[in-house]
A and B are shown apart, each in its own frame.
Chain A
Amino acid sequence: MIENLDPSLVDWSRYQFALTAIYHWIFVPLTLGLAFIIAIMETIYVKTGDPEWKRITKFWMTLFGVNFAIGVATGIILEFEFGTNWSNYSWFVGDIFGAPLAIEGIMAFFMESTFIAIMFFGWNKVSKKFHLAASWLTAIGANLSALWILVANAWMQNPVGTTFNPVTARNEMTSFWDVALSSTAINKFLHTITQGYILGAVFVIGVSCWFLLKKREVLFAKRSIIVAAAFGLIFSLVVIGTGDSSAKDVAKYQPMKFAAMEGLKKGSEGQSIVAFGILKEFGEEKNVDFHFKLEIPKMLSFLSDYDFNSFVPGIDDIIEGNEEHGLMPAQEKIERGKVAIDALRALNTAKQNNDTEKLNELIAMFQDKDFKENYFKYFGYGYFTNTKDLIPNVPLVFYSFHIMVILGSFFVIMFALFLYMGIKNKIKNQRWLFYVGIISIPLVYVASQTGWIVAEVGRQPWVIQNLMPVKVAVSQVSTTTVQTTFWLFATIFTGLLIAELRIMFKQIKIGPKEGK
């Protein structure tokens, strides 16, 4: 029984996955964003023929190379963990993860390895235009690589385009396009890559500000800031749009996450949004209440579906149900989930007893539309007894979401300010602005990580929404082994991060080189 599962094993497996994912995500967004900024800078060089732009491009390319080299293959650890710590999950998802990851691997290998080589080795060996094409294709390739892992992640948040095979205990893809083009996948991809562009832009501005503070490479820094600020401003506005459509998607498919993002206990029509608030102690009882909060009337309803008067369910509505708004109580979902698990148990017994007639009858039941929509849809709920276990860590999700939104808004203003000052040539002596630029580098990483905390902590307790809770996904391995590898990874990844920072700082101190 699930109650006998060592809770520390589940927790440590989660900590380990979170640790590796967080470290991996330190490297990825800079690659996504910086690649396009470099391609834009090189385009200006090719268009103008001005050698200063080549110098600028090559400097940022060096930093891109450092980040790429240190970050490459850090994601592979997550795949190791799937196979060892999350074997039930890995089997259950079937080829849903395998197919996108295989495409990612092939694309990443052929596109990135080929074009990155031309980017770094091809100066003066291939034509300017061919080199430029390689830079653009590197950026496009890196972003397309991200697409496939995000498609796989989106399926976990909103499992569509698949059917469960009860004989093999695997989900099978019925429509690749439903999986790849689900609204969740598209929103996740667009929101994730665009925030990577913002991170890349902030990084360029911050490093350029350091040069200005040191009164070094002023032309280089000013030009870099203008490109990055323009790029960042465009995508910080785009990210508001992608964030808005992501929020609508979450409201539709993951209402508990949406309620947690806002600390919404009891929903209402014309629901206000919490612009800022301090939560009271969450505790074992999972109480959600505020010491104080600043609200904007009706905005949460609008955010959920463009209607200022629509109903937004709160945590209590989702747990206790709300007949008026057609919300089934969580206890009813648990009962239905247990029916689906019992059916699977009966099917397994029939399989073991070679009772073909019963087996075929139960297989047909799992394929029946009514059973799928009324029982199997709630399969994962059957593993719970206490409905409170269906509530994620609300304070962590609430604060992460609000930090991300506040920082996102700050970056819009920051980019606009840097762009204005850059274009008006007023940037040279604004020391306070240089400090803002430099401090923004760690802040943009905070925004980036908190976004993922909202996505991943917010969907707890599910590893696959409504179908598989985390506690069922985990393998029966030794907790000590998981603890050991947790600390091993913590050491290795911290070492890699230190290496990245040291090499990066050294290259920044050297500055752009005079080159051919």
Chain B
Amino acid sequence: MKKNIFIRIVDFYVEGFKSMQVGKKLWLIILIKLFIFFVLMKMFFFPNELKTKYKDDEGRSNHVLEQLINK
């Protein structure tokens, strides 16, 4: 019996990942990199300045206006 299209797509990816050689190492690098970027860097070093300091767009507008006219 022919498998459902979605199951075939999932099988395609699963078999693809299983048969990888150099790809496994590359995926490990990608995952470590994404962890460093999104978890460590983004959380601890790269907060969105305006979103963190101001709760709405009006506050952000006012801040930038102040910067534009007072710098």
Q: Does A55 touch B at the CB level, under 8 Å?
A: no
Interface residues of A in 153-175 (CB under 8 A from B): 167-170
Partner of B37, one of A76, A167, A471: A76
Given A499-B29, A507-B22; A83-B16 close (CB under 8 Å) = no
Partner of B49, one of A87, A383, A492: A87
Interface residues of A in 45-73 (CB under 8 A from B): 62, 65-66, 69-70, 72-73
A341 to B71 Cα, complex, angstroms: 10
Partner of A121, one of B15, B26, B51, B65: B15
Query: How many Cβ-Cβ contacts under 8 Å join chain A to chain B?
Result: 112
A472 touches B67 (CB 8 A): yes
Given A69-B29, A72-B30, A81-B46; A167-B61 close (CB under 8 Å) = yes
A81 to B36 Cα, complex, angstroms: 15
Interface residues of A in 462-495 (CB under 8 A from B): 471-472, 475, 477, 481, 484-485, 488, 492
Given A169-B64, A383-B71; A503-B26 close (CB under 8 Å) = yes
Least CB separation from B47: chain A residue:
A84
A65-95 interface bits toward B, Cβ cutoff 8 Å, 1 = contact, 0 = none: 1100110110011001101100110111000
> For B12, B13, B33, B71, which residue has the most chain A Cβ atoms within 10 angstroms?
B71
B16 touches A65 (CB 8 A): no
A167 to B64 Cα, complex, angstroms: 11
Least CB separation from B29: chain A residue:
A499
Given A73-B37, A169-B61; A65-B26 close (CB under 8 Å) = yes
B22 touches A472 (CB 8 A): no
A84 touches B45 (CB 8 A): yes
Given A70-B29, A77-B41, A80-B42; A492-B36 close (CB under 8 Å) = yes
Count A interface residues, CB 8 Å: 48
B46 touches A66 (CB 8 A): no
Given A65-B23, A70-B29; A117-B13 close (CB under 8 Å) = yes
Interface residues of B in 13-68 (CB under 8 A from A): 13, 15-17, 19-20, 22-23, 25-27, 29-30, 33-34, 36-38, 41-42, 45-51, 57, 60-61, 64-68
Q: Does B69 touch A at the CB level, under 8 Å?
A: yes
A500-511 interface bits toward B, Cβ cutoff 8 Å, 1 = contact, 0 = none: 000100010000
Least CB separation from A125: chain B residue:
B12
Q: Size band of the B side of the interface?
A: 35 or more
A484 touches B45 (CB 8 A): yes
Q: Does A423 touch B at the CB level, under 8 Å?
A: no
Chain A binding surface SS class: helix
A169 touches B65 (CB 8 A): yes
A70 to B27 Cα, complex, angstroms: 9
A62 to B50 Cα, complex, angstroms: 42
A121 to B9 Cα, complex, angstroms: 11
B45 touches A475 (CB 8 A): no
A348 touches B65 (CB 8 A): yes
Partner of A84, one of B19, B20, B46, B66: B46
A424 to B66 Cα, complex, angstroms: 69
A83 touches B51 (CB 8 A): yes
Contacts of B37 in A (CB 8 A): 73, 76-77, 80
Contacts of A99 in B (CB 8 A): none
Partner of B12, one of A121, A471, A496: A121
Contacts of B42 in A (CB 8 A): 80
Least CB separation from B53: chain A residue:
A87
Least CB separation from B30: chain A residue:
A69
**Smallest distance from the beta carbon of A383 to chain B beta carbons, Å?**
6
A121 to B71 Cα, complex, angstroms: 55
A73 to B39 Cα, complex, angstroms: 13
Contacts of B13 in A (CB 8 A): 117, 121
Known: A69-B27, A344-B68, A472-B71. 12 other contacts (CB 8 A): A69-B30, A70-B29, A80-B41, A84-B47, A117-B16, A120-B23, A121-B13, A167-B61, A168-B57, A383-B71, A485-B46, A492-B33
Q: Nearest 4 pairs between A and B by C-beta?
A: A121-B16, A69-B26, A87-B49, A80-B46
10 of the cross-chain contacts (CB-CB < 8 Å) are A1-B70, A73-B33, A73-B37, A81-B46, A87-B50, A125-B12, A169-B68, A475-B49, A484-B45, A488-B45
